[in-house]
Amino acid sequence: MLFSLIVGMLQVDPSGRPTINDVIDRLQEIAAARDIELKSSLQIKVPEQEPNLESMNHVQSRRSPPSVYRDPEYEADSNPYQSHSMSQPQQQSVPTLGGMFNSLKGSAVGLFKNVKDASSRVMETVSATMNKGDLDFSYITSRLGVMSYPAEGVESAVKNHIDDVRAFLDCRHQNSFAVYNLSGRSYRASKFQNRVSECGWPSGRAPSLANLFSICKNMHLWLRQNPKNICVVHCTDGKSNSATAVGAFLCFCRLFDNGSSAIQMFTARRTNPGISASQKRYIEYICDMVAEIPLLPHNRALMLIKIAMAPVPCFNKMKNGCRPFLEVYVGCNRVLSTSQEYERMRGFTIQEGVASISLNTLVTGDTTIVAYHARSTFGGKVQGKVTEVCVCVCVCVRGERERERERVILGK
């Protein structure tokens, strides 16, 4: 049984190898048949045998070093008081034989000890490999999967190895999978038969509305081509960015009418993604666009008059306020920055309740507002630079809901 198991594990084709569950079952059957407790410690008994004195004498005679020849008659004549008995040579050979036996016995014990240590190390390695578990792959639905980044090299120790992912997809969804890379990093698409769509964005940020809608539309078209097709989504860790795309797609297919329910399903099937408020907002944008009465984004420019943060963030050394400045981006282009010299930027305290900064700038499309706290250091004062600490990031898009509003409140 053990021989057939080893032959099966050495198959060239990965699909022909037994799974880890099959291996464990076979090992348990072998252990039960031989009355072996797998969880008990390894015990090796060294058989104790009496030494064969004749063979030991033969070995000693063959390996004894050459000695100087002595004439017994000459020694007897020169020393008449010496006895001619053979008892003295026998007394000299006994300690030599005992020492050799002890040496051989010690070598045997050391050999078995090394075998025991090597076996323990092998068992620990197998146990560690088994405890690593399966791939970091979760099925949100039967046709929608999420996984972590398919890595290579050292990074594959904590993430999915790209070859393992390829073998998994080829085994379960051969020629019927499409991979959507949301990490912003690239790898060899040939590993997945060039079925990889590069559509990533920075982690923790919201994607552009056009990019998110395009991902949902592409995934929907792929699933409609064949009932066996499956979409596999991944980012760096299979959390925030993946949850944004999956939540938006579930709303795009009208499985849910709000983003909170879609994120709850992602959490139940995989883990808490920890998405940002901006990412939740973009999922809601997709819900509005596919609703029965759609709310589509308009093309008119909006005037950002000022930004008010309430309560005042506590980022200074005294933890009672901050000295904020803002940067405004439209798409990937920065259109405004309120950063100045440190002394010229106003500080706000908790007692004031609100920190307001005037902008008076026009924006269109996906708008990102990043709030920083200006921190002064000795090197910064000498070089005339300010150290910045990110307070918050807000991403929004001009929509039908904000058409008639003069104030838009964005929470956490």
* 371: nearest Cα among 317, 331, 410, 398: 410
Tokens representing 340? 């100045």
Q: Are 283 and 244 in contact (CB under 8 A)?
A: yes
* Helix, strand, coil in percent for the chain, rounding step 5: 45, 20, 40
Angle at 112 between CA 108 and CA 118, to 5 degrees: 145
Q: Give the residues across from 328 on adjacent strands.
A: 336, 369
Q: Does the annotation count 235 as an active-site position? A: yes
Catalytic residue among 216, 235, 287, 396: 235
Could you give the CA distance from residue 334 to residue 278 in angstroms, rounded to a whole number? Answer: 18
Please report the DSSP string for 301-323 in residue order. Answer: -EEEEEEEESS----STTSSEE-
* 63: nearest Cα among 122, 25, 15, 103: 103
Residue 71 CA: distances (Å) to CA of 61, 79, 93: 20, 12, 20
What is the bridge-based pairing of β-strands 196-198 and 230-234?
Answer: unpaired
Catalytic residues: 235
